[in-house]
Structure 1
């Protein structure tokens, strides 16, 4: 859904959704915001600026990265309401995107269920450190009850990361980088690697319980 707004609240067109703690438009002209609403969970799961100008170039940093992280998490708590009881032990991290990360704090919140971190079941909150406001809110976390249906294997791998790397070495002549858990359906090791003959980044996914090669790119 897209909603347009002029500078005065009285000029809103119905239906009206008014947010607090988010970036207002800067200067004259129309702005648009993309908003996605989940009718089953009765929750807004996306708020992202579309067209228009939302912030000026330059200006001093008024909120530290740590403060921005804390305020982004508080914003997240308010948005998901009672569902936060299921997510209070989730993994919270701050992404570094170079110079833009000096202005905006990119906070990722990944679901944890029975010790397994779900990389793709996550929420991102982008907080403006010059403006002390949220810019983006994108919630890709599904219904927490589903986790009990898909997390059926042990969260403890039967294959260590070193054994996974050895499987990769036996499979192909490569330079190994590092590995991390990727899949929300199986416990896996995902290993990025560079092939000596093409010097390009590839990926192999190995089942962390059986050692089976699931995916090779």
Structure 2
């Protein structure tokens, strides 16, 4: 019996190739359906105000949690914990009304990475989502029930992630179009964030859609990946984003993951000018100079690429300015952010040796758009920064 199931994990691994770095939790905003919500007090603080240059370390903003596990111990009393669990269940049923309510009784308190810091989460491990049963049965004769994992941020009440599965027992056939799938995925994002909050902030979001059938030519699954980046002063954050994997064969969500942080926190640490002092062309010359310095006797024949593997996303997704909101590239000392987020250029390159190697494609490089410092580079023994793998 040959069941040709293709699980969503095949696609999630590809997300890592695109994103390179990770981080984030859900930001606060207006939502319906919550009762008895716990009041969350902002944790940011200053000493002498932020220093826009980030040179003398006068910025002092509390980072919400440890950058490595474990998370801080639970500080809720039993009554508060029950209220938070009840609110989490209500939020799940509001966003995913076809989840069987009784299946949410199987939960545990866990910890999650909220975009570079660890904090408690309520994890519903064996929730049963009965949405799109007819479509799932028609596309997959082996389908029995859709068991999903859902995590909720107890402090904000937002859904942090939803992990389902997708597959077919034959050749999948799309029942909705690419554009319809994008609209349906966006409606989930809008629903999670709250329509009022979304409308107030929609101009800040950079939205990209990847057609996975085009991106992964050897895989027949019909899915799209929606990437929604938050931004500040017209520049998108690298990791402050939501990822949604949507199935065109079932008209159903497979995966939702939010890395969007507290907007107050981000505003406190994103204080540099969004206007670069170094152009993209200059950043590329900086890379070439570094390679020539390390390999002075060899012409590497460097080529730059405005896309990744077939331009499945617009070029401005790959070669673009970003705020580098990954803790490994931030100055966090004794639990406080001491310098503003770097403004960086990200772009991709390869060399003649890489082009002759079937296992190589292109590699990313990040250059500080104000100082010209290479922030990230991995190539033939060059390891910047040395302590991050």
Shorter-normalised TM range:
0.7 to 0.9
Q: Which residue of 1 aligns with 2:242?
A: 123
Query: Highest Rg: 1 or 2?
Result: 2
Which structure dedicates a bigger proportion of its chain to helix? 2
Higher relative contact order (CA closer than 8 Å, sequence separation 6+): 2
Q: Is the 8 A contact 1:122 1:139 kept in 2?
A: yes
- Tell me, in whole angstroms, the C-alpha distance in 1 between the residues paired with 2:147 and 2:129: 16
Instruction: Extract unaligned runs of 5+ from structure 2.
Output: 1-97, 107-123, 293-299, 306-318, 326-340, 379-389
Quick one: structure 1 residues 129 and 96, their matched pair in 2 at CA, closer, same or farther if it must change by over 3 Å? closer
SS in 1 for 2:348: strand
CA contact (8 A) 2:160 2:257 kept: yes
Tell me if the contact between 1:159 and 1:209 (Cα under 8 Å) persists in the aligned partners: yes
- Residue in structure 2 matching 1:158, options 262, 277, 281: 277
Indicate conservation of the 8 Å contact 2:242/2:258, yes or no.
yes
Conservation of the 8 A alpha-carbon contact between 1:91 and 1:117? yes
Q: In 2, Cα distance between the equivalents of 1:209 and 1:119?
A: 17
Corresponding residue pairs, total: 208
CA-CA distance at 1:58 after TM superposition: 3.7
Alpha-carbon distance between aligned partners in 2 of 1:152 and 1:204, rounded to the nearest angstrom: 23
| Stretches of structure 1 lacking an aligned partner (at least 5 in a row) | 1-7
User: What is the rounded CA distance, in whole Å, between the counterparts of 1:144 and 1:165 in structure 2?
Assistant: 32
CA contact (8 A) 1:23 1:55 kept: no
Contact 2:148 2:163 in 1 (8 A): yes
Using structure 1 for the length normalisation, give the TM-score: 0.79
* TM-score where L is the length of structure 2: 0.47
The structure that is strand-richer by fraction is 1
**Pairwise mapping of residues 83-102 of structure 1 onto structure 2 (< 5 A)?**
83-85=197-199, 87-89=201-203, 90-97=205-212, 98=214, 99=217
* CA deviations over 1:41-82 (Å, ceiling 9, x no partner): 1111111116xx765544542211111111111111111114
Partner of 2:372: 211
